[in-house]
């Protein structure tokens, strides 16, 4: 009974460690929500006016969010949550776009409403991130990176073209500029993939907890799996928290089970 209770506690700890890193969704304060304080007042006002003029011409609603950190949460999930919470785009048209920049984690994403996906494709969003925004960010010029990125988005939405270059439509292009991210999955796909991934390594983790000598071998054997597999579901930030939980939680629980 004691062992069963401890195993349940470990399972709960692993789940909490892997899942409870979701960042808060900030209030929508305008077309520019600069919580990371990356923009100068002049550039913030200029970009905001440009976005307003674009909305008046086309009806498309574009917002920019900068936030220091999202506490390891997947950039795809976080951007989608903010997009839905802020209700960007006109009702029935779904013509909103959200540009998210997370400087402390060196990640960003351009979230595109369904109504505009045929105009601003994943490949185009990735090209804007890689060729327009990232070079400026690497130079420490967030003003130019965000302003030029927003202008590039508006340019495409108004019928303009980006310079031709070889791009793919993967989420790495669309989402991150320095960091490895997992594949872009829907919520349902993440749940199914999570059940599969954590089911397998969780089973071997449970076996390791209750095997006296061989269990420690399994502990070290599973370290690379806990370090890499969760990236598929949680992204690199969430996977890091998950790995730390396993790294500490396994030996502590195993010592209690002795």
User: Could you state, in order of their start, the residue ranges of all structural domains in the chain?
Assistant: 2-21+186-257, 32-175
Q: State yes or no: pLDDT of 1 exceeds 80.
A: no
What is the 3-class SS of the chain, one letter each residue?
Answer: CHHHHHHHHHHHHHHHHHHCCCCCCCCCCCCEEECCCCCCHHHHHHHHHHHHHHHHHHCCEEEEEECCCCCCCCHHHHHHHHHHHHCCCCCCCCCEEEEEEEHHHCEEEEEECHHHCCCCCHHHHHHHHHHHHHHHHHCCCHHHHHHHHHHHHHHHHCCCCCCCCCCCCCHHHHHECCCCCCCCCCHHHHHHHHHHHHHHHHHHHHHHHHCCCHHHHHHHHHHHHHHHCHHHHHHHHHHHHHHHHHHHHHHHHHHHHC
Instruction: Tell me the pLDDT band of 211, cut-offs 50, 70 and 90.
Output: confident
- The predicted pLDDT at position 163 comes to 72
The stretch 184-207 carries a mean pLDDT of: 77
pLDDT one-digit tens code per residue, 128-146:
999 999 999 999 999 999 9
pLDDT in tens, 100-133: 999 998 899 999 999 999 999 988 999 999 999 9
How would CATH label the architecture of 32-175? Roll (3.10)
pLDDT at residue number 202: 87
**Poorest-confidence range of 74-88, 188-202, 206-220?**
188-202
Q: What is the pLDDT of residue 158?
A: 94
58-67, 97-106, 170-179: the lowest-pLDDT one: 170-179
Q: Which pLDDT band, with edges at 50, 70 and 90, does 188 fall under?
A: low
Q: What's the whole-model pTM score? A: 0.64
Average pLDDT, the chain: 82
Provide the percentage of residues in the chain whose pLDDT is more than 90. Answer: 45
* Residue 172 pLDDT grade (very low, low, confident, very high; cuts 50, 70, 90): very low
């Amino acid at each position: 009974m004691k062992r069963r209770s401890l195993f349940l506690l470990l399972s709960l700890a692993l789940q909490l460690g892997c899942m409870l890193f979701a960042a808060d969704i900030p209030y929508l304060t305008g077309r520019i929500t600069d919580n990371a304080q990356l923009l100068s007042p002049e550039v913030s006002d200029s970009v905001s006016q440009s976005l307003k003029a674009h909305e008046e011409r086309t009806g498309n609603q574009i917002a920019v969010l900068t936030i220091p950190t999202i506490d390891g949460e997947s950039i795809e999930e976080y951007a989608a949550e903010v997009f839905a919470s802020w209700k960007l785009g006109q009702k029935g048209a779904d013509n909103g776009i959200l540009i998210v920049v997370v400087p402390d984690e060196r990640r960003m994403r351009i979230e595109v409403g369904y109504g505009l996906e045929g105009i601003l494709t994943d490949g185009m969003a990735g090209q804007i991130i890689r060729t327009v925004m990232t070079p400026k960010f690497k130079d420490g010029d967030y003003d130019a990176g965000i302003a030029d990125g927003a202008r590039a988005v508006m340019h495409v939405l108004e019928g303009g073209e980006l310079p031709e270059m070889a791009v793919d439509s993967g989420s790495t292009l669309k989402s991150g500029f320095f960091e490895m991210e997992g594949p872009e999955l829907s919520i349902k796909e993440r749940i199914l993939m999570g059940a599969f991934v954590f089911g397998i390594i969780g089973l071997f983790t449970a076996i390791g907890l209750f095997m006296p000598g061989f269990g420690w071998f399994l502990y070290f054997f599973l370290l690379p799996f806990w370090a890499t597999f969760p990236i598929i579901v949680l992204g690199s930030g969430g996977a890091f928290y998950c790995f730390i939980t396993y790294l500490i939680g396994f030996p502590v629980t195993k010592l209690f089970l002795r």
